[in-house]
């Protein structure tokens, strides 16, 4: 409080760096809530009116709300009876020519089956937005090793089927969305969220969108954005458990 920084100050920057390191991504961008993380991610990926986004009906309303707020249409795919997460075997039958993205939700700390989901996304050139609001720190184990920068198709051709590779949820798709609401497994004393990604251009767009579409120049606005900044107090509180 004595620092004089209250929004997007040094604690936010430090917390972003710590989350990126913890989740294994190049970028982490703090926003005002997990709901905003979903909404801004969709906007940053260019999801818009008349697009369709495949997701699960068994999730908190924010997942669906975010899709409708960018003008897109949520398309529900049923869940796996054992994990309660989206069933990858039912995704392709729900797709149309308007399908642009998939939002797998990692529910109750259990990872969705990301291997087949990513193969479908690669096959049809779909974006993947991971809703990891209830699963920060959870790891997903691929059946084959995934080298940096290697696509799933090249991975399958070049590695042993007996090899193994683990990644934290949120770091597998194009973007991951985290929530720091008090009831989450990394909870603060109010609202807060984070968007994680390895893509520099997506990170640039997210950073602009969270502050009304502002570019690096304080007085130039290149996008119609949002007011969604993580405050210093929440970041300072959240740095204790992450460390």
**Digit-coded pLDDT (tens) for 22-63:** 999 999 999 999 999 999 999 999 999 999 999 999 999 999
Residue 157 clears pLDDT 50, i.e. is over it:
no
Q: Name the residue range of residue 231's domain.
A: 10-242
- Beta-strand (E) ranges in the chain? 27-31, 52-55, 73-76, 99-103, 127-131, 139-142, 165-168, 175-179, 193-197
Residue 171 is assigned to a structural domain of this protein: yes
Read off the pLDDT band of 155 (50, 70, 90): very low
CA-wise closest residue to 129 among 95, 60, 74, 176: 176
pTM of the entire structure? 0.90
Q: What are phi and psi of 33, to 5 degrees?
A: -165, 170
| Contact (Cβ atoms closer than 8 angstroms) between residue 122 and residue 149 | no
Could you give the number of structural domains in the chain? 1
Residue 101 is assigned to a structural domain of this protein: yes
What is the pLDDT, as a whole number, of residue 142?
Answer: 84
What is the pLDDT, as a whole number, of residue 42?
Answer: 99
Residue 2 is assigned to a structural domain of this protein: no
For 227: left if phi > 0, alpha if psi spans -120 to 50, otherwise beta; the answer is beta
Residue 242: partners with Cβ closer than 8 Å, 6 or more residues away: 15, 18, 19, 22, 186
Query: Which of 29-43, 100-114, 121-135, 215-229 shows the lowest per-residue confidence on average (mean pLDDT)?
Result: 215-229
Residue 1 is assigned to a structural domain of this protein: no
In sequence order, the β-bridge partners of residue 139 are 168
| Contact (Cβ atoms closer than 8 angstroms) between residue 142 and residue 172 | no
Residue 161 clears pLDDT 80, i.e. is over it:
no
In sequence order, the β-bridge partners of residue 193 are 31, 179
| Contact (Cβ atoms closer than 8 angstroms) between residue 168 and residue 134 | no
Torsion of CA 38, 39, 45, 50, to 10 degrees: 120
What is the pLDDT, as a whole number, of residue 50?
Answer: 94
Residue 5 is assigned to a structural domain of this protein: no
Residue 178 is assigned to a structural domain of this protein: yes
Residue 135: partners with Cβ closer than 8 Å, 6 or more residues away: 106, 107, 108, 109, 110, 111, 169, 170, 185
Residue 236 is assigned to a structural domain of this protein: yes
Q: What is the pLDDT of residues 178-230, one digit of tens each?
A: 999 999 999 989 999 999 999 999 999 999 999 999 877 777 888 899 999 99
Residue 95 is assigned to a structural domain of this protein: yes
The CATH code of the domain that includes 183 is 3.40.640.10
What is the pLDDT, as a whole number, of residue 154?
Answer: 47
């Amino acid at each position: 409080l004595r620092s004089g920084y209250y929004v997007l100050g040094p604690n936010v920057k430090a917390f972003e760096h710590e989350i990126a390191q913890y989740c294994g991504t190049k970028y982490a961008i703090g926003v005002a809530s997990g709901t905003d993380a979903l909404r801004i991610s969709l906007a940053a990926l260019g999801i818009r009116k008349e697009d369709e986004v495949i997701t699960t009906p068994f999730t908190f309303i924010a997942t669906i709300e975010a899709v409708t707020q960018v003008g897109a249409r949520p398309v529900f795919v049923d869940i796996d009876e054992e994990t309660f997460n989206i069933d990858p075997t039912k995704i392709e039958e729900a797709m149309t020519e308007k399908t642009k993205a998939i939002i797998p939700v990692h529910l109750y700390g259990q990872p969705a089956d990301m291997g087949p989901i990513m193969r479908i996304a690669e096959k049809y050139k779909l974006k993947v937005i991971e809703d990891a609001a209830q699963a920060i720190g959870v790891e997903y184990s691929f059946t084959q090793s995934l080298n940096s920068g290697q696509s799933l198709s090249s991975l399958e051709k070049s590695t042993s089927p007996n090899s193994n590779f683990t990644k934290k949820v949120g770091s597998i798709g194009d973007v991951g969305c985290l929530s720091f609401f008090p009831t989450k497994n990394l909870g603060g004393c109010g609202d807060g969220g984070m968007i994680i990604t390895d893509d520099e251009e997506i990170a640039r767009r997210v950073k602009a969108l969270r502050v009304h579409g502002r570019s690096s120049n304080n007085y130039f606005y290149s996008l119609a954005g949002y007011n969604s900044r993580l405050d210093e107090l929440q970041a300072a509180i959240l740095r204790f458990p992450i460390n």
